[in-house]
Structure 1
Amino acid sequence: MDDKTAFKPSLRLIDATMLVAGSMIGSGIFIVSADITRNVGSAGWLLFVWLITGFMTLTAALSYGELSAMFPKAGGQYVYLKEAYNPLVGFLYGWSFFTVIQTATIAAVGVAFAKFTAYLIPGLSEDLVALDLGFVTISPAQLLSILVIVLLTFINTRGVNSGKIVQTVFTMAKLLSLLALIVFGLFALKTSVWQQNWHNAWNIHGLKPDGTVTNYTLIAGLGAVASAMVGSIFSSDSWNNVTFIAGEIRNPQRNIGLSLALGTLIVTLIYLLTNVMYTGVLSLHDIAAADKDRVGVVASTQIFGSWGTVIIALLIMVSTFGCNNGLIMSGARVYYSMAKDGLFFKQVGSLNKNSVPGFGLWLQCIFACLWSLSGKYGNLLDMISFVVVVFYVLTIMGIFILRKKMPGANRPYKAFGYPVLPVVYMLMGVAFCLLLIRYKPTYTWPGLLITLTGIPVYYLIGGRKTGNDIQMELEAEAKQI
């Protein structure tokens, strides 16, 4: 099949930018500010957590521009890690990506879509039981999540243009809707609430839903910021999905780096403005104590009255539907690249008649549906946050390694602010991981163990032999460059 088909470069700059922004914006921005507020307790620190997360995301995206221009092919971060280090490191990323990072994220976003659909159709609630199999009960929300995942997978097997249309339309819709929510929220701003929230904006402390305050030492305060960033980092994650689909982007050396910069900048600004709006219409206690952490619902009700719940439900449905399309579209390209290297199922390394990795898309679909049924994907996403940042740090460190390893390589785009900004990101990433190890070990060790299970898998599938062959090819390529 691959002799007759190949990836078709069909995505323009606008499509790639919408993939970046659309994959980032799911349901997190409407939820995680509650947990952030409980950790830091003040408006200034709430904004600071989002600002520092945005800075890290932008810095990483601008740094990835150099790598995407050097290796403009399907696989993205897996390819960068393989080229900078060795096939084992690349495989461990791909293994984590397949087992939890991408498939569990798809499941979580799918269930978020279903949860908010239940606001409009109560019969789809996650609290109801649709099937009781004895060993597991399945809610209507989980079944709807599976239906959405299957539908979007089918659309993407029809070719990249089908997925592109869905992505661009839904991302444009949610960006405009979010901007409208921000504008209406700022018009509904309550002066008394705003003044109360910003009166002592930089006093960091714990704030429980019952109003109890916990004072911090300096180190504990840093730990609270790191804990708070778990939510904001996941809400800002998946920006790198566009690098996975590089083989289908027109002029990838230019457009991948540019789409990363534009997409992450747009989302960072929207996230900051959304949280400014929250502090203008809701007290900090209301944000921290929001029912099931649904801050967006509480804020929308304050802005639009009884229609607020319907409006925010529709917005989140559009947001999560578009987000999942981007995740599904891009994820299968990583498994495709791994299979091409002999490090994944052989069938995943083939393209269907529509020039997309159909087998990989359906395999990803099956695992995402299983996570939807498990009900445990939320915990696993929290646990993997540590590993996600570790791989980001390793990838950015790869820029330094590759400049030494391949000094004469063609670099149409170079990392912005090199070497200062990449070093700053690495230091911040390492500090974040160390603080999580100290203050929230449940977020670190399980995710690390999931990643390390990939080591025996790598050798069981013949990774040593395959890896040696890949390494020899990489070294020969480096010498030629």
Structure 2
Amino acid sequence: MKKEQHYGLMTAITMIVGICIGSGIFFKADDILRMTGGSVLLGVLVLCIGAFSIIFGSISLTELSIRTDKSGGLVGYFEAFISPKMASAFGWFQTFLYFPTINVVVAWAAGIYTLIVLGLPNSLEWQVLIGVVYLLLIYGMNFISLRLGGYFQVISTYVKLVPLIGIAVIGFFWTKGHPELPADLTAVPLTNVGWGWLAALAPVAFSYDGWPISTSITNEIKNPKRTMPLALTIGPLIVLAVYVTYFLGMNKLLGSEYILAAGDQAVYAVGEWLLGPSGGTIITLFVIISVLGVTNGVTLGNLRMPQALASKGMIPQSEKIAKMDLKKQLSFASFRVSLICSLFWMVVHYLTQKTGILAGGDISEIAIVFGYMCYPILYVKIIQMKRQGEIKSLFKGLIAPVFGILGSLVIVVGGIVSNYTYVPIFIVICFLFCLAGYRYYEKNVQQK
């Protein structure tokens, strides 16, 4: 059944911008500084490397988006241009691991900032509990109305740009010194980390990731062959500009030492520094809305994935999950599968954070790194299509995918460097999800 086309260019752009911008740049900025030894220059460098990957990657994928109307975003691209079995493999990874892990970590971040505003003890248990509440509320809103979720995406994107652009502009003209470090914070010395700065690519990848999720609503976009290429080009460029200016603004206002010591509370601190005692609360409320916009954007893509796979016969109970409600334009079974997966990974996230086995990272970073191991398969296909004459543009058919491949390789190396022990183990788990999807489709086709 053909889905109704009810989203326009602005929703597609704000979905990309809204998912990328919102959580990572707020609670990963201190991680980037820590892994670069407090070097602002290296911090800007890794932000540019991250943008390098997504800008050229997204421009490359526009050549695929205009050549297929298959559902499922990147899964549809794998199905149309690689093979249905590979599409099933990648679809299982996205549906059962990639989407839900990102979703729970972002909802958890919203919990962190909510506790900061409320002045409550910032314990992991409370962070996760509030994160679950936010997750349920966002799912509920999208269940009531898909358009409501789309409107919230647009509004939250504009809201989140207020503190980002505000801090960037104020920082540009700032001539005063930095605030003194409060007595309750421990100073973190600046260090020479050598090549260890590559580890900063893991939190950077998280900060930028989310742009492929917008492809999951391609079939619900008005005039997708014109709209999606524009969205996939404009969105990442906006993200790059906002990230770099915000990062420089924060460092100009607070200084590297203060940001390293304050950690996730640096945003609250800059609000107090600029606007007085209530300023921290005001700016953090903007951040919470911003982070919830990310959760909503991921949910918009997440709750559709089981139905997209089911429509292709790629998961068990496909007939039931593929059935759409005509009024809501949504599969109730797909909604349930998506929600259950998210709640499951919230439990896993809690356990990994409680035990500290990811050394300051989180489960979503590993899923993101594995995703960058998969994207080059599509980039190589685009290069092949250029050599066969199907793609005429030298830039989109050769230069952009080559740079996309190089950017992906750098992200993968940085992810592994961030945790030599557990990242490879979780990458293997991601591969096993892919293998299960591949084998299921292979067996299902043979039975038919």
Change (3 A) 1:81 1:73: closer
Distance 1:468 1:87, change over 3 A: farther
Give the aligned length. Answer: 429
Answering whether residue 34 of structure 2 is matched by residue 38 of structure 1, we say: yes
State the Cα distance separating 1:22 from its structure 2 match.
0.9
Alpha-carbon distance between aligned partners in 2 of 1:456 and 1:270, rounded to the nearest angstrom: 38
Q: Is the 8 A contact 1:65 1:414 kept in 2?
A: no
Aligned identity (percent) is 22
C-alpha distance after superposition, 1:92-130 (max 9, x if no partner): 32222223211011111111112211223345x5528xx
2:114 is aligned to: 117
CA distance in 2: counterparts of 1:117 and 1:439, whole angstroms: 28
AA partner of residue 182 (structure 1): A
For the pair 1:127 / 2:123, whether they are aligned, the reply is yes
Query: Is residue 383–residue 446 contact of structure 1 (8 Å, CA) maintained in 2?
Result: no
**Partner-residue secondary structure (3-state), 2:209:** coil
Partner of 2:227: 255
2:362 alignment partner in structure 1 = 379
| TM-score for the superposition, normalised by structure 2 | 0.87
Q: Does the CA-based 8 Å contact 1:337-1:349 persist in structure 2?
A: yes
Q: Cα distance 1:431–1:270, how it changes in 2: closer, same or farther (>3 A)? A: closer
CA distance in 2, matches of 1:418, 1:193: 48
CA distance in 2 between counterparts of 1:415 and 1:10 reads: 33
Deviation, 1:209, is 5.7
User: Given residue 296 of structure 2, which amino acid in structure 1 is its aligned partner?
Assistant: N
AA aligned opposite 1:308: G
- Partner residue in 1 for 2:378: 395
Give yes or no for contact 1:74–1:244 (8 Å, CA) kept in 2.
yes
Equivalent position of 1:158 in the other structure? 144
Provide the rounded CA distance (Å) in 2 between the counterparts of 1:402 and 1:465: 30
Conserved 8 A contact 1:10-1:160: no
C-alpha separation in 1, matches of 2:27 and 2:117: 18
User: Quick check: 1:368 aligned with 2:347?
Assistant: no
- How big is each residue's C-alpha offset from its partner over 1:415-460, in whole Å with a ceiling of 9 and x where there is no partner? 8443122212212322442454466324641232122222552366
Distance 1:186 1:469 in 2: 64
Q: Which residue type is aligned with residue 260 of structure 1?
A: L
Q: Quick one: which amino acid aligns to residue 402 of structure 2?
A: V
Instruction: Tell me whether 1:53 sits opposite 2:50 in the alignment.
Output: yes
Question: How far apart in 2 are the matches of 1:348 and 1:337?
Answer: 9
Of 70, 79, 85, 1:82 maps to 79
Partner of 2:325: 352
Matches within 5 A, 1:67-78: 67-78=64-75
Residue equivalent to 2:358: none
Comparing 158-167 with 107-116, which one deviates more in the overlay?
158-167
Describe the superposition over 1:244-264 as per-residue Cα deviations: whole angstroms up to 9, x where unpaired.
011110000010111111221
CA distance in 2: counterparts of 1:82 and 1:469, whole angstroms: 20
| Aligned-partner Cα distance in 2 for 1:269–1:286 | 24
1:7 to 3, 6, 15: 3
Residue 453 in structure 1 maps to residue 424 in structure 2: no
Cα–Cα, structure 1 residues 469 and 232, in superposed 2: closer, same or farther, change >3 Å?
farther
Residue 25 in 1 paired to residue 21 in 2?
A: yes
What letter matches 1:269 in structure 2? A
- State the alpha-carbon separation in 2 of the partners of residues 245 and 326 from structure 1: 11
CA distance in 2, matches of 1:435, 1:159: 40
- Find the aligned partners of 1:279 and 1:230 in 2 and give their Cα distance: 20
Residue 475 of structure 1 is matched in structure 2 by: none
Does the 8 A contact of 2:68 with 2:80 survive in 1?
Answer: no
The amino acid that maps onto 1:350 is K
Give the Cα–Cα distance (whole angstroms) in 2 for the partners of residues 163 and 109 of structure 1: 17
Give distance in 2, aligned partners of 1:397 and 1:445: 24
Among 385, 408, 415, the residue aligned to 1:429: 408
1:298 matched to which residue of 2? Answer: 269
- Shift, 1:328, TM fit: 0.6
Residue 84 of structure 2 aligns with an amino acid whose one-letter code is P
Q: Unmatched 5+ residue regions in structure 1?
A: 129-138, 195-207, 471-481
1:227 and 2:199 correspond:
yes
Q: CA deviation at 1:12?
A: 0.9
Pair 1:98 & 2:95 matched: yes
Query: Contact 1:18–1:171 (CA<8 Å) still a contact in 2?
Result: yes
Q: Matches of 2:235 and 2:329 in 1, distance apart?
A: 26
Instruction: Find the counterpart in structure 2 of residue 240 from structure 1.
Output: 212
* Contact 1:385 1:447 survives alignment (8 Å): no
Query: Does structure 2 conserve the Cα–Cα contact (< 8 Å) formed by 1:53 and 1:233?
Result: yes
Equivalent residue, structure 2, for 1:271: 243
Q: After superposition, what is the alpha-carbon deviation per residue over 1:67-93, rounded to whole angstroms, capped at 9, x for unaligned?
A: 111123421111112333223322232
Aligned partners of 2:107 and 2:132 also within 8 Å: yes
Q: Which residue matches 2:183?
A: none
CA distance in 1, matches of 2:76, 2:387: 17
Whether the aligned pair in 1 keeps the contact of 2:73 and 2:216 (CA below 8 Å) is yes
Distance in 1 between residues matched to 2:309 and 2:218, nearest whole Å: 15
| Cα distance in 1, alignment partners of residues 323 and 385 from structure 2 | 29
Residues 8-64 of structure 1: CA deviation (Å, up to 9, x unaligned): 101011111111111112221112121222222322111111122112221111111
Residue type of the partner of 1:365? L
Give ranges in structure 2 of 5+ residues lacking alignment. Answer: 180-185, 354-360
8 Å Cα contact 2:53-2:406 kept in structure 1: no
Q: Which deviates further from its counterpart, 297-306 or 61-70?
A: 297-306
**C-alpha RMSD over aligned residues:** 2.8
Contact 2:386–2:398 (CA under 8 A) maintained in structure 1: no
297-306 or 57-66, which deviates more = 297-306
- Pick closer, same or farther for the CA change 1:314–1:340 going to 2, 3 Å: same
Change in Cα spacing, 1:177 to 1:86, as seen in structure 2 (3 Å) is same
CA distance in 1, matches of 2:40, 2:447: 54
CA distance in 2, matches of 1:460, 1:425: 29
